[in-house]
Amino acid sequence: MIRQGFILLIALFPFVSLFLVAPSMEIGNVEYIVHTVGLTIILSGINVWLATTFAWWLLWTESRWKSVIEWLVFLPLFIPMLATLFGLYLILAEVGLIGTYIGVILALLVVTIPYSIRLAYNGMAVIGRPLLEQARLLPMSRRVVYVLYPLFSRMMRTIALFTTVILLSQFALIQLIGAGLIPTVTTELYQSYAGNNRSLALSNTWMLILFPVVIYFLLSGWNRWMVRMLKGRLQ
Amino acid sequence: MLRSSVALSILVSFLPLAALFFLGMEALGTDWGALLTDETWRDSLFTTLYVVSVSTIVSLVLGTWVARTVVNQRWRFTSTILKIPMFVPHIAAAYLFWLLFSGSNGFWGIESNERDYVTVILTYIWKETPFVFLMMIGTYEQLNRGYVETAKTLQLSPYAQFKHAEFPFLIKPLLDSTWILIAFISFAYEVPALLGVTYPKLIGVLAYERLSTGLYLEATEPYAVALIWTCFVGFGVFVSYVMTASVRRRIERGVRR
């Protein structure tokens, strides 16, 4: 009991800081919130789609290149993120994508996709090939809607959540690839911290913490509603 | 549609390797002698090694211990609560720790923005322990209890029980977690920039600032440092996986049977 209490205390104690200073309630320019929401939706959608399809392919492929491709996809997990970012900066500068929304999305996709594929592949491997065998006979759209989505909606939620957290953690990436032209809640937090505006920095911290929470509950509700609706259609 | 999605995933996954190639090309003009003897980089390297070692080792030990305890004691509620820090963005976690230890709030003699990087280490431990926990809990849940029971029947010490009946099965997730943490912590910007000091900076912060500050825009050093560090991590990954390959294969075969 004492051990359990101690572990819980350590896990929750830093949240005390949220109540040490009163957060600022002034929201003048909402551009950075719009950017953050936009990037979160686009990036989560792409990650869920690419990771699920790739994990499905990896589960079934008989290709002799399977292990090589598997390594290639998981290898970026072991490359320091900032090193990847420096290299991407050079590549994107060559093709003129620095300071653009597409450049930022591409860079964020590069750093998030290995985690998403890993989550998707682990999720599918747990269920295993024998149980999913029959779903292969269905056309792609019905397979996704009636089998993959209901089975893996939790996994998809986790991918979206992880993507959001990684996206919200990026200051250097968004600042360098976005050339300072694409403000997000993260860049605002850093600037308010640098400007010694504690209450504004705290309100941005609140936002950074609440973003994943809101996404978790929204996706949970959406998944529950969708699965109930799909079950109703099948009856 | 499936094929084009798979091709796109492979293409995106290939970009980090292409990025390394570009890093190499850009680092060609670096004066390596000057870089290796530069005191600023050297001090940053030692500080980084210290921060990475402490954060990684403590996170691995704590994460493994908590996973073991949660599974043995069947603490479902604790297991759920423990995952919460993982869903707090790093920069927000750093600011929480900054508030906790700054000015009059600093306690136990620890303050944010000091040369020992204690708050940076604490932030990483708080953030990464749940990650290690998540990597280990799956293995612990699937662990064949028969091995532990046998070890107990043989009256082995608790350490020997862990060494022979648990550790061999943990090698794979431990290796994965170790290198993911090292790659992540060693060359990052956000947390050490918020909680660190102006000298010595961690190499990620120094490299990023030299790259993005107008004063150093023409410098190739940040690219060279990023490349060296990636090679260092890559070499470690390669050696550790090759050295443990036979053990891991044996365990996987045993588990499948």
Query: Looking at residue A61, what is its pLDDT?
Result: 86
- B89 and A84: CB-CB below 8 Å? no
Nearest to A234 by CA among A134, A136, A131, A146: A146
Q: Where are the domains of chain A?
A: 30-234
Query: Looking at residue B217, what is its pLDDT?
Result: 64
The Cα of B155 is separated from the nearest Cα of chain A by a number of Å equal to 26
Best A86, A174, A206 residue to mutate vs chain B (most B CBs within 10 Å): A86
H/E stretch holding B244 reads: none
- This model of the complex carries an ipTM of 0.87
List CB contacts of A51: < 8 A, sequence separation 6 or more.
Answer: A113, A116, A117, A119, A120, A159, B9
- Give the B window 172-191 contacts with A, CB below 8 Å: 179-180, 183-184, 186-190
pLDDT digits (tens, 9 = 90+) for B146-179: 888 888 888 888 889 888 888 888 888 899 899 9
Classify residue B129: in a domain, yes or no.
yes
- A205 and B95: CB-CB below 8 Å? yes
CATH architecture classification, A30-234: Orthogonal Bundle (1.10)
pLDDT digits (tens, 9 = 90+) for B187-201: 999 999 988 888 888
Best B112, B190, B255 residue to mutate vs chain A (most A CBs within 10 Å): B190
Q: Does B226 touch chain A (CB under 8 A)?
A: yes
Classify residue B26: in a domain, yes or no.
no
- B92 and A189: CB-CB below 8 Å? yes
Nearest to B187 by CA among A90, A104, A172, A193: A172
Q: Is A39 within 8 Å of A100 (Cβ atoms)?
A: no
- A86 and B19: CB-CB below 8 Å? yes
The span from the CA of B123 to the CA of B105, in Å, is 16
Classify residue B113: in a domain, yes or no.
yes
Residue numbers in B near A201 (CB within 8 A): 95
Return the residue of A nearest to B98 by Cα.
Answer: A17
Extract the tokens encoding B114: 């000091």
Classify residue B168: in a domain, yes or no.
yes
pLDDT of A30 over the 60 cut = yes
Query: Looking at residue A87, what is its pLDDT?
Result: 93
Q: Does B242 touch chain A (CB under 8 A)?
A: no
- A82 and B226: CB-CB below 8 Å? yes
Across A172-180, average pLDDT: 90
Selecting from A11, A82, A90 the residue whose C-beta is nearest the C-beta of B84 gives A11
pLDDT of A191 over the 70 cut = yes
Classify residue B29: in a domain, yes or no.
no
Classify residue B15: in a domain, yes or no.
no
Classify residue B118: in a domain, yes or no.
yes
Residue numbers in B near A76 (CB within 8 A): 13, 16
Q: Is A230 within 8 Å of A146 (Cβ atoms)?
A: yes
Ranges in chain B, pLDDT < 50: 257
Query: Looking at residue A144, what is its pLDDT?
Result: 81
Q: Is B195 within 8 Å of B123 (Cβ atoms)?
A: yes
Q: Is B94 within 8 Å of A204 (Cβ atoms)?
A: no
Range of the domain at B74: 36-256
Query: Looking at residue B33, what is its pLDDT?
Result: 83
Selecting from A56, A90, A201 the residue whose C-beta is nearest the C-beta of B95 gives A201
Return the residue of B nearest to A163 by Cα.
Answer: B87
Q: What band does A40 get if pLDDT is binned at 50, 70 and 90?
A: very high
List CB contacts of B243: < 8 A, sequence separation 6 or more.
Answer: none
- B22 and A87: CB-CB below 8 Å? yes
Q: What band does A97 get if pLDDT is binned at 50, 70 and 90?
A: very high
3-state secondary structure A162-189: HHHHHHHHCCHHHHHHCCCCCCCHHHHH
Residue numbers in A near B95 (CB within 8 A): 17, 189, 193, 201-202, 205
Identify the residue whose tokens are 């850093």: A190
Q: How many inter-chain contacts (A to B, CB under 8 Å) are there?
A: 215
- B81 and A80: CB-CB below 8 Å? no
3-state secondary structure chain A: CHHHHHHHHHHHHHHHHHHCCCCCCCCCCCHHHHHHHHHHHHHHHHHHHHHHHHHHHHHHCCCCCHHHHHHHHHHHHHCCHHHHHHHHHHHHHHCCCCCCHHHHHHHHHHHHHHHHHHHHHHHHHHHCHHHHHHHHHCCHHHHHHHHHHHHHHHHHHHHHHHHHHHHHHCCHHHHHHCCCCCCCHHHHHHHHHHCCCHHHHHHHHHHHHHHHHHHHHHHHHHHHHHHHHHHHHHC
Q: How is B180-204 classified by DSSP, letter by letter?
A: HHHHHHHT--HHHHHH--SSSPPHH
- B190 and A170: CB-CB below 8 Å? yes
Q: Does B58 touch chain A (CB under 8 A)?
A: no
Average confidence score pLDDT of chain A: 87
Query: Looking at residue B257, what is its pLDDT?
Result: 46
- A82 and B227: CB-CB below 8 Å? no
Return the residue of B nearest to A175 by Cα.
Answer: B212
Across A208-233, average pLDDT: 87
Classify residue B16: in a domain, yes or no.
no
- Give the B window 104-143 contacts with A, CB below 8 Å: 105, 126, 130
Q: Into how many domains does chain B fold?
A: 1
- The CATH number of whichever domain residue B124 belongs to comes to 1.10.3720.10
For residue A221, is it left (φ>0), alpha (ψ between -120 and 50) or beta? alpha
